[in-house]
Amino acid sequence: MNDMNGATDKSDITEEDIGHILTIIATDGYYQQAEIVKVSCPACGEEFLGTKRHAGGFIAGHSAYHEFENSLDDIIQNLGGA
């Protein structure tokens, strides 16, 4: 759904918007000239569709999460295995 300024609500982004430059209204701000990208996590394959700003958060979040998971595995192994 578009408002009078031609801005798109973040929740209305679809695969058809990939590569397009849009003005996005998100809960954390107003993104002008935002390119819509699709990224997937190399560790678990989860996919994200949205602005680069949010894709960065997705990647950083997964990176931190999987690092955390791996560190737990290491700790368990150091304790002699689960």
Count residues binding Zn ion (CB under 5 A). 5
User: Taking CB under 5 A as the rule, does residue 41 contact Zn ion?
Assistant: yes
Which residue, chain included where needed, has tokens 């996005």?
24
Give the integer Cα–Cα distance in Å for 23 and 42. Answer: 28
Convert 36-82 into a string of H (helix), E (strand) and C (coil): EEEEECCCCCCEEEEEHHHHHHHHHHHHHHHHHHHHHHHHHHHCCCC
What is the number of the residue whose Cβ is closest to Zn ion?
41
Query: Among residues 18, 21, 44, 72, which is the contact residue for Zn ion, using CB under 5 A?
Result: 44
Is 43 a residue that touches Zn ion (CB under 5 A)?
yes
Residues numbered 53-82 forming contacts with Zn ion, rule: CB under 5 A: 62
Q: How far is the CB of 47 from Zn ion (least distance, A)?
A: 10
Residue ranges binding Zn ion (CB under 5 A): 41, 43-44, 46, 62
